[in-house]
Structure 1
Amino acid sequence: MKTTLSLRRGARNAAAIGAASLLVLGAVAACGDSSSNSDDSAAASISLPANAPEGDPIKLGLIAPEGGAVNLPMVREGAEAAVEYLNNNGGGIGGHKVDLVVCQQQEEPASATKCANEMVEQNVVATVTPLGAQGAVMVPIVTGAGIPYVGQAPVSQVEMVTPGSFMLSGGIIAVMTGQATIAAQDGVKKFTVFVGDSGDAAASVKALGEPLFGRAGIELNVVTIPTGTADPTPQITAGLADKPDAVTILGDTSQCISSIKALQTAAPTMKKYLISTCLDEKVTESVGQQSIAGSKAFTTVVLDSDDPSVQLYKDVMGKYAPDTDPAGIAYTGYQVVMSMGEVGKSLTGPVTAELFTAALESAKDLQFPAAPGLTFTCDGKAFPPLRALCSKAILASDVTADGTLENIVAVNNG
């Protein structure tokens, strides 16, 4: 399978998902802008099947990062477009029309607490939080009321382990598991991670990564690069001292740029395993396409694909959110809501939070929207130490010399 590398803002923001426990919202807030990509006539021309639900409305809660220092309205817009599709074309959730209860939290505890309490007061059947770093505040309130809490990827440990919490993708677990798997296939024996020193990122990567890479027979070295370092040559040199066979960079676009430049000087032929931020056009424009050609890419979304699930995403956004760029981070809201529609197909009769929790727990091998080849299963077995994870899979591909991704495969999807 081959696709262009123009992941654009989608790639940039996907990295905050792919390495959520490391980057939280820093990379997203810096580049989560949206732009118009359609007009009214184009939207009107999109044809979707008519399949309106006939059951009584149910309330689905949405908590979105909006209105504060981190302001990402496109997350909400993607979720709202998905609800419009479910209500007009997709048969609703379990045959019921969806009333979306929206609360905007400003990425600080007070507003997050208010939103979580509002979900309880509104008696929603489930709460979705596509993106945000306030899970540790919200999860206990939502799940404590018996309401399932569903996210796109985990940021806090609370989200990863709390009963009633369901993380549809694996976040940093998926990234590192995928990298370890591909590294073993590539015959890598030593692997170095360059990571920013935000919070306990380096310690977390070391604690998670050492057993994952160790089981693959690979020695892992984690090297910290201070945030804002303009020239990380000393850290890069230190990380190359034991002669690794491959390296990865876990950070935002600025760290990717500075680290790749230093790598090109110190070890131009070094094999690189790159998350989405390091594939962004801002990076390639700065370091040159040749600097990442031959790398392995690890992503959780493919937008330039002819897969039906990707085309449906584009059609839904074109129809119901024509002023929102589908190449931005709107897909996170879309993915979570559409996943709820898939889970809801197993429901019959009146829908309650208890029944929705049971449906999530029994969800098996459901297609992850707009991510061809990725599925999710929420029985707690995807990564047993962190039972809330519904997947540890990721899309891995080869970066070619002409700026394309090819040989795209879903890794660790079983």
Structure 2
Amino acid sequence: MRSRTGRVVAAAIAAACIFSVVSCSDDDSSSGDSSAVEESGTKATGDPVKIGLFNPSKGPATQGGVTTGKDAAVNYINNSLGGLNGRPIEVVDCGIDQTAPESTIACANQFVQAGVVAALDGYNSESQSAVPILTSAGIPLVGQIPFNTATGAKAENRVYFGPPPAAFLVGFMQSLKAAGKTSLTLANADLPQAHQVFDGLLAPLGKQLGIEVKSVYYPPTGPNFTALATTLAEGNPDAAGLMTAPNDNTCTKLSQSLRSVGYRGTMFMAACTEFIDTMGAQAVGAETYSPGWQPPAIDSTPEPAKANLQLAEKYIDDAGGVGGFYAYGTFSIFVDFVNGLNQAKVADFTGANVLNGLKGLTDFQSFLGPKLTCGKASTPNCTTQMLLFEVTGDKTTKPVGDGFITPNPAVLQLIPGAA
């Protein structure tokens, strides 16, 4: 068994906004009243329901965990959970290259031809390229985090079970502010989407908070990690690392390089987990973010998420392949999709019915995250809550603030689609 690893903000942000991890935490939402998802042992039967998946399995920015999570989720949903209203799901898995929008367009057209009832967004930074095609065909786009900020800026024909990208940024900056840290340098792949986030969101937010923010870009085909780490460590910023991560391998190599060049500040490794296993005690003090609970924090995970996390781990281990954040996140997307539609009692699977069913979810306990209320007119996201984890020991993490962080609503209101 594998080890456990798992568009622009207004320049002026109201000075009255107070950033505090403790005051913005919401422990109640992480516990809930729902019991854990259980294995019914019921196999789905009948005609399959077709679902598309934009899978970033091609090009330089691949996310191998998406395939692992998909395979594990289909096994669980069809062979134990009982499927969608008793019917199995069939995934039209279309590989995309996140550096080539035309591949996303080709997959969207493939989904239309295949007659899928929904298209799942596997953390595709080029998802906006598919939106016009899917909307015209009445196929909703469903995911966890809209990695493309244009996709996340509107609520039309899409639902995301996790928070908007801005929530992770605001939540992390709140944590830095609360800890008295005043300097931050973050790296990202040299792609248009990264420049939008850094220049339009990170810089003005840092200025407002009194945090010196710097950005570093590396070629998406693969950085020189020692050179990148050296640049990140210049001036010894309080925190340094990645704002987003293409895969766990990038996190592992960069974190190792940061330590090797002598950086001892807070390493921020975005949504990664496997570097924690690889580095062991050397990773202590590093921080990561997530929309839901992850295996390194199993000892801190409340029910029902703890039992669900153990269930997901079983199926992900059985699936083999790449684990980590993207595997557990993709597993969660599929299970929340199925459980949400079953709770909404959708039986006639058309794109319109799927969209209406998901947008109608209220106080719905997600698989590994908080309770969700979807269908807001201003945002495709069902929550703004996120988790920030700190590595506290050998291969273990603990949530900062002891639970879900709710980023300051006044700040999110200034970001299109974030609230």
Q: Which residue of 2 aligns with 1:59?
A: 50
1:284 equivalent to 2:275? Answer no
3-state secondary structure, aligned to 1:342: helix
The TM-score normalised by the length of structure 2 is 0.69
Q: Give the whole-Å Cα distance in 1 for the aligned partners of 2:58 and 2:271.
A: 26
Q: Give the whole-Å Cα distance in 2 for the aligned partners of 1:278 and 1:218.
A: 29
Which amino acid counterpart does residue 81 of structure 1 have in structure 2?
Answer: A
Q: Which residue of 1 aligns with 2:170?
A: 177
Superposed counterparts of 1:325-404, under 5 Å: 326-327=323-324, 329-344=326-341, 345-369=343-367, 371=368, 373-380=369-376, 387-404=379-396
The TM-score normalised by the length of structure 1 is 0.70
Q: Which residue of 2 aligns with 1:209?
A: 202
Q: Give the whole-Å Cα distance in 2 for the aligned partners of 1:65 and 1:329.
A: 11
Q: Which residue of 2 aligns with 1:29?
A: none
Q: Give the whole-Å Cα distance in 1 for the aligned partners of 2:128 and 2:384.
A: 21
Quote the RMSD (CA, aligned, Å): 3.6
Which amino acid counterpart does residue 411 of structure 1 have in structure 2?
Answer: I
Q: Which runs of 5+ in 1 are unaligned?
A: 1-5, 11-46
3-state secondary structure, aligned to 1:364: coil
Matched length: 350
Q: Which residue of 2 aligns with 1:160?
A: 152
Which amino acid counterpart does residue 352 of structure 2 have in structure 1?
Answer: E
Q: CA deviation at 1:146?
A: 1.4
Whether the aligned pair in 1 keeps the contact of 2:274 and 2:324 (CA below 8 Å) is: no
Q: CA deviation at 1:69?
A: 6.4
Q: Which residue of 2 aligns with 1:275?
A: 270
Q: Give the whole-Å Cα distance in 2 for the aligned partners of 1:122 and 1:405.
A: 42
Corresponding residue to 1:84 among 69, 75, 82: 75
Q: CA deviation at 1:311?
A: 1.4
Q: Give the whole-Å Cα distance in 2 for the aligned partners of 1:64 and 1:248.
A: 25
Closer/same/farther in 2, CA of residues 238 and 342 from structure 1, 3 Å limit: same
Q: Which residue of 2 aligns with 1:312?
A: 311
Q: Give the whole-Å Cα distance in 2 for the aligned partners of 1:393 and 1:125.
A: 28
Closer/same/farther in 2, CA of residues 378 and 248 from structure 1, 3 Å limit: farther
- Percent sequence identity over aligned pairs: 21
1:241-289 deviations in Å (ceiling 9; x for gaps): xxx654554363344333444453xxx4x4444434487058737xxx3
1:79-123 deviations in Å (ceiling 9; x for gaps): 243233333332322x14134141423414444333212222233
Which amino acid counterpart does residue 275 of structure 1 have in structure 2?
Answer: A
Q: Which residue of 2 aligns with 1:411?
A: 405
3-state secondary structure, aligned to 2:87: strand
Closer/same/farther in 2, CA of residues 234 and 245 from structure 1, 3 Å limit: closer
Whether the aligned pair in 1 keeps the contact of 2:232 and 2:240 (CA below 8 Å) is: no
Superposed counterparts of 1:143-154, under 5 Å: 143-154=135-146
Whether the aligned pair in 1 keeps the contact of 2:58 and 2:95 (CA below 8 Å) is: yes
Whether the aligned pair in 2 keeps the contact of 1:64 and 1:105 (CA below 8 Å) is: yes
1:341-395 deviations in Å (ceiling 9; x for gaps): 12202134423211211122222343443x3x444443347xx5xx233333332
Whether the aligned pair in 1 keeps the contact of 2:185 and 2:232 (CA below 8 Å) is: no
Which amino acid counterpart does residue 357 of structure 1 have in structure 2?
Answer: L
Which amino acid counterpart does residue 314 of structure 1 have in structure 2?
Answer: E
Q: Which runs of 5+ in 2 are unaligned?
A: 7-37, 300-305, 410-419
Q: Which residue of 2 aligns with 1:39?
A: none
Q: Give the whole-Å Cα distance in 1 for the aligned partners of 2:365 and 2:276.
A: 28
Q: Which residue of 2 aligns with 1:44?
A: none
Closer/same/farther in 2, CA of residues 187 and 281 from structure 1, 3 Å limit: closer
Whether the aligned pair in 2 keeps the contact of 1:58 and 1:99 (CA below 8 Å) is: yes
Q: Give the whole-Å Cα distance in 1 for the aligned partners of 2:352 and 2:148.
A: 24
Q: CA deviation at 1:207?
A: 1.8
Whether the aligned pair in 1 keeps the contact of 2:160 and 2:382 (CA below 8 Å) is: yes
Closer/same/farther in 2, CA of residues 337 and 402 from structure 1, 3 Å limit: closer
1:97 equivalent to 2:87? Answer yes
Q: CA deviation at 1:180?
A: 1.9
3-state secondary structure, aligned to 2:389: strand
Whether the aligned pair in 2 keeps the contact of 1:69 and 1:106 (CA below 8 Å) is: no
